[in-house]
Amino acid sequence: MGSALENYVNQVRTLSASVSYRELADELPESLSLLVRNWSILDNVLETLDMQQHSLGVLYVLLAKLHSTTAANPEPTQIITLMRDFVNRGNVEQLRFAICAFYEVCHLFTEFVVQKNLSILGIKILSRAIERIREMATQLTPIHADLCQLSLKAKNFNLALPYLDTDITDISTVAAELKNQQQQQQQHNVDANNDAKYFLLYYYYGGMIYTAVKNYERALYFFEVCITTPAMAMSHIMLEAYKKFLMVSLIVEGKIAYIPKNTQVIGRFMKPLANHYHDLVTVYGTASSEELRIIILKYSEVFTRDNNMGLAKQVATSLYKKNIQRLTKTFLTLSLSDVASRVQLSSATEAERYILKMIKSGEIYATINQKDGMVLFKDDPEKYNSPDMFLNLQTNITHVLDLVKQINKMEEEIMLNPLYVKKALGSQDDDLTSEQGKTNATYQQTNSQIFKFKDSTD
Amino acid sequence: MQVYKYQELMEKLENDELEQIGLGPEVYAQLLAIYLYQSELSKAKLLWMRMSDNLKNKEENKELTQLHLLTVALQKNDSSDFFDYIKFEWSENVKPIVEDLLAKQREELFTLMGTAYASIYEQNLLEMTQMSAEELKSACAALNWTQEQDGDQVIILPIPKETVSSVAGDDQLLKLTEFVSFLEN
């Protein structure tokens, strides 16, 4: 082993033994280039280090290994086993001193398994990594985006969904970590601009996952967060999210969902770039399935290129359903063939199939009478007097109560923030954009929750 | 009937899938059947999509293809296809799950028919359920459904099923107290 590497090992051992993790974390980035240069003998270095006692040392060896995968071309299973072992046994207390490097390891690892087509094996490892490194269950880390990416690649969302279902109240960013630690080495300058990228990616991928499992309401919320993130310039992630946002909002609401006013980026940059999608929205508004079919066919090349063709087909199906729902508002009874001609379905049998499906999923209330070929539309039979409804009400109330508590807690935090107090006392009109950003996500969530709650009660 | 009947097995299989590659067809078949039983259609569809192609197209793995056909039928809400495809020589591996699935789908279908139809031709119902005339007759009789003659065809008149569910009164009281105490503070 080269003497420089011996020095590395000795440094890690002595500083770890004397519990000077801070110092160690500050010095290690300098050795990274040395480690990368000696990629061929890194396994020997690993043998002399202990995962638990020398977690920081192992972390940088791993980082070097992942940096040199093109040169070394290691056995994928070896890297995966190593990573699994490290994530399970590494000492979190130590890793917190070099959290940026840890995030980088996760990003590189994600890239590596995606490249090797082994995404499915990375899912569990990353979920474990999040589990261990985050400070609370509602904290978003840059690793979340990686986990979602792997889940999408592997088409397996079982592990990612619980993370997505958790509402985020805090975000761990590289920029904040750097500020906390005042670690400003020149050689190893982590690009803090990536924070925005991983934040946007998380909401974009998350929206895609929810769309795939057909939880469109939640998908809409995720895309909304992505496109309404305060920004001066447009990110391509936001543009793609905007296209999907438009389509999903057609499926959920039948029109463009409400977008908060503070997002000039959408009007200025995104609308002109998504005009095909706006055409789709306009045609959807005419409620003509035939024209919608034609426009989807016309733009099929664009939709296929954007990988949105499947979603476009879902939009087409949703219009049939919307039109049938509209009929229930006007008619009490209607013959099946009339239904077919009014919503432009090809035959009475097909209309019957749609209606049956919608009755099953509770989208309409109706009974079909095959004897005279009629459909009888009924009102919602819910009388709000059943135990089920009471239970529903209860869960909704509990949810809202929890949100109120959460908001009160966050408000208190802000009011006690010295920076806020200083600003509030200094000049009253000063904009508190930075604090607002933090609560924004929760606030939106509350709003939609309250609306939902209203819907189910009125 | 409980949806969580196969929960444990499912969790084990899901875990296996995340930790190993090159799993055998029997694992996928079981998982697919459980997803269908739990009405997790999107999960079933995704599972099929992520299965490797050399598992799907082989003659000896016909069971997998058959399970996929069931998924598609359920997705399209095409019960006649579903009950047709489910008539298959299932291996011991998935047989109990598929039997439960069949029973569950039958029950669901009859519940749906009860709410969605005021009258339905016996011929159509036979096709949807893929049952023999006698089987259907006894199933309808068990639900107290009557029938009448319309020309030379028989029309069945389904009755909506009453749903009963109950929550303990104490529990409700506790919740209400909680809400009131919140509002007062």
> pLDDT per residue over B114-149, tens digit each?
888 888 888 888 888 888 888 888 888 888 888 888
Token pair, residue A14, equals 């002595």
Best mutation target among B42, B47, B53, B117 (most A Cβ atoms within 10 Å) is B117
Say if residues A257 and A447 touch (Cβ distance below 8 Å): no
How long is chain B?
185
Q: Is A187 on the interface with B (CB under 8 A)?
A: no
B154 and chain A in contact, CB less than 8 A: no
Nearest to A120 among B18, B42, B150 (CB): B18
ipTM score over 0.85, yes or no = no
Cα–Cα distance between A215 and A232 in angstroms, integer? 31
A216: its two tokens: 């469109």
Given a cut of 90, whether residue A281 has pLDDT beyond it is yes
DSSP 8-state assignment for residue A258: P
Mean pLDDT, rounded, for A357-373: 88
| Phi/psi-derived region of residue A19, left when phi > 0, alpha when psi is between -120 and 50, beta in every other case | left
Q: Is the pLDDT of residue A222 over 90?
A: yes
Q: Which helix (H) or strand (E) holds A366?
A: strand A366-369
Give exposure, A374-404, as e/b (b: 16+ Cβ within 10 Å): bbebeeeeeeeeeeeeeeebbebbeeeeebe
Residues 6 or more apart whose CB falls under 8 angstroms from that of A294 comprise none
For residue B119, the SS3 value is strand
- pLDDT-based confidence at A454, cuts 50/70/90? very low
For chain B, 185 residues long, give each residue's pLDDT as a single digit of tens. Answer: 455 678 888 888 888 888 877 788 888 888 999 999 988 888 899 998 888 777 777 777 788 888 999 999 988 888 888 998 888 888 888 888 999 999 889 888 888 888 888 888 888 888 888 888 888 888 888 888 888 887 777 888 888 776 665 656 777 788 788 888 878 87
For residue B167, the model assigns a pLDDT of 59
Cβ partners under 8 Å of residue A173, min gap 6: A142, A192, A195, A199
How many percent of chain A have pLDDT more than 70? 89
Relative to beta strand A170-171, strand A366-369 is unpaired
A333 at the B interface (CB within 8 A)?
Answer: no
In this structure, the number of other CB atoms found within 10 A of the CB of residue A334 comes to 19
Partner residue opposite A356 with nearest CB, options B50, B116, B121:
B116
Q: pLDDT confidence of A445, banded at 50, 70, 90?
A: low
Q: Which two tokens stand for residue B139?
A: 């199933």
B158 vs A: CB within 8 A: no
* Extended beta strands in chain B, E state: 117-121, 146-150, 153-157
Q: Over the stretch A145-165, which tens digit does the pLDDT of each residue have?
A: 999 999 999 999 989 999 999
A173 φ, ψ to 5°? -120, 155
Contact state of B116 with A371 under an 8 Å Cβ cutoff? no
- AA identity, residue A233: A
Provide the token pair at B112: 């749906």
Which contacts (CB < 8 Å, 24+ apart) does range B137-142 have? B139/B106, B139/B110
Retrieve residue B131's tokens.
Answer: 């049952």
